[in-house]
A and B are shown apart, each in its own frame.
Chain A
């Protein structure tokens, strides 16, 4: 079984590395369509990572909502505004370098804190398998208020998006 375990471990690290490479692609590629595709791949990579943590439901939701819906909507918007995103136009503003430095600093500081912190791992949680039924019960029980709130926000966002994007009749 050791070989299998080792293989899985290598696989997970490879997955994480690949996801990071794709994420870099998301922010650096000139062509917005390419970066949206990279985003989709990154999201699928994250979903696979969720599977590693035995969060199957979340992985499925991630793919369904993010890849199936959000990325599609993004690509839709890219297509609608397409001829602006031509090669001749600069895709990047002038704060690249400061941004890069700042973020490197952020990562360094936070990473150091992360590694220094003794994380109190709760053994009960590590062993627990969360089924969809558990999630449902929690959503309808403990977290019913945020759940309803989110649905209200969703409706509001939906209506808002429709109204904002709707064309005025007069023109």
Chain B
């Protein structure tokens, strides 16, 4: 790697070190530690909302293009200031609280929901040595923290005292608990292979182009994990909790103004962090040739986010029982098979293991879909009468 590249690669790390050195000249040691935490924290606290704002713009642009229209293009060049205009609008909107609402919890829910969304950023390796806190239990931390998201959604739906909200909240609980299971199990092969829970060392285990997604179990795991992440952050085709054609707006029906914006923000930050984790686990994180590590990371992450937006532009929504059926009857058995396959792949080296693993996965996928009779499209015949 040439020096210019390595300079670019570690530009943010060096920037922080330099700042800390500067502080070290003037202040005692504990202040430096504190400053280090504060710098990381502030960066994450800024990064989250900014990413969310521009994700909304990106989504509207991409969906617009897929629907043969421009998307926002009035505020600023190419609509770049649209998120700011939206933010101003959100701030100035009236905050409506229903009469019968549980006021305290109604207020707390949108605040609480942002917290886990931001906390996940802590373990995301944005680039070489760019993990805010390289926890030894990184992946588990991510799973644990993202599972908390159910709670504020429940709070919001219950506090609104609205039947639509209530049904949305019920759906959220069912959906998120169900999809956590295959999601967690899909991660297991990765942990088995990299023999670590720390996100940074998982990325290190995918050195070069040995990304996990290039193995049969990795590909299957990635697809399952990605489907589950889409379901976890309630994005189409799994957006049942806020299904606007059925439940008006689901759990945030009764929210307006800034509170609604916070729900929105959490959703988009979740979309980002979950994509980032998927990249970390399966797509080699920041690993990649030629470009600086963080460029690779953001490219891959945004590719996944693009895929999420693409899903949104293409698919109808699942029904609640089908959603559950897919999690429990299709994805969960597949993850179990996948764990087995990962073991096989590990112990049978070379092409045999590779092909064997692929065959087992393909056969089990076909078998499971064939067993799931109700979800298989039927053959239909249409008579043409005179």
Query: Is B237's CB within 8 Å of the partner chain A?
Result: no
Interchain CB contact under 8 A, A68 and B140 = no
Contact of A60 with B137 at beta-carbon distance under 8 Å, contacts A1-B29, A72-B150, A72-B154 already known = yes
- Residue pair B136, A132 in contact (C-beta under 8 Å): yes
B261: min CB distance to chain A, Å: 23
Closest 10 CB pairs of A and B: A68-B147, A64-B144, A63-B144, A60-B140, A60-B144, A4-B30, A56-B137, A72-B150, A72-B173, A75-B154
Binary interface profile of A, 60-80, with partner B (CB < 8 Å = 1, else 0)?
Answer: 110110011101110110010
**Which residues of chain A are within 8 angstroms of B38 by Cβ–Cβ distance?**
none
Residues of chain A within 8 A (CB-CB) of B150 are 68, 72
Q: Interface size (A, Cβ < 8 Å)? A: 28
Q: Which of A37, A67, A132, A133 contacts B148 (CB 8 A)?
A: A67
In the complex, whether A131 has a CB less than 8 A from a CB of chain B is: yes
For the complex, is A9 an interface residue (Cβ under 8 Å from B)?
no
Task: List 27 A-B residue pairs with CB atoms under 8 Å apart, sorted by A's residue number.
Answer: A3-B30, A4-B30, A31-B102, A33-B102, A37-B105, A37-B155, A44-B148, A56-B135, A57-B137, A57-B140, A60-B137, A60-B140, A63-B145, A63-B148, A64-B140, A67-B147, A68-B180, A69-B177, A71-B151, A73-B177, A75-B151, A75-B158, A79-B158, A79-B169, A79-B170, A131-B136, A132-B136
Q: Contacts A1-B30, A3-B30, A75-B173 given: A64-B143 contact, CB under 8 Å?
A: yes
Q: Which residue of B lies closest to A3 (CB)?
A: B30
A68 touches B30 (CB 8 A): no
A72 touches B137 (CB 8 A): no
Complex Cα distance A71/B147, Å? Answer: 11
Q: For chain B, residues 120 to 174, give those with C-beta under 8 angstroms from any C-beta of chain A.
A: 135-137, 140-141, 143-145, 147-148, 150-151, 154-155, 158, 166, 169-170, 173-174
The answer to whether the Cβ of A40 comes within 8 Å of any Cβ in the partner chain is yes
Q: Would you call B197 and A132 a contact (CB within 8 A)? A: yes
B320 contacts partner chain A, Cβ-Cβ < 8 Å: no
Q: Which of A31, A44, A76, A131 contacts B170 (CB 8 A)?
A: A76
**A72 and B170 contacting across the interface, CB-CB below 8 Å:** no
Residues 197-216 of chain B: 1 if any A CB is under 8 Å from the residue's CB, otherwise 0? 10000000000000000000
The smallest beta-carbon distance between A82 and chain B, in angstroms, is: 8
CB-nearest residue of chain B relative to A76?
Answer: B173
Chain A nearest Cβ from B251, distance in angstroms: 12
Q: Tell me if B158 and A33 are in contact (CB < 8 A).
A: yes
Q: Once bound together, how far apart are the Cα atoms of A67 and B151, in whole Å?
A: 8
Q: Is B359 an interface position by the 8 A CB rule?
A: no
Whether a CB of chain A sits under 8 angstroms from the CB of B111 is: no
User: CB of B33 within 8 A of chain A?
Assistant: yes
- A63 with B33, Cβ < 8 A, contacts A69-B177, A132-B137 known: no
B147 contacts A69, CB within 8 Å?
Answer: yes
Seed contacts A31-B102, A67-B148; 13 additional CB < 8 Å A-B pairs: A1-B29, A4-B34, A37-B105, A37-B151, A40-B151, A60-B144, A63-B148, A64-B143, A68-B144, A72-B177, A79-B169, A132-B136, A132-B137
Residues of chain A lying within 8 A (CB to CB) of residue B33: 4
Residues of B with C-beta under 8 A to A71? 151
Contacts of A133 in B (CB 8 A): 195
Chain A residue nearest in CB terms to B150:
A72
* Bound complex: CA A114 to CA B291 (Å): 60
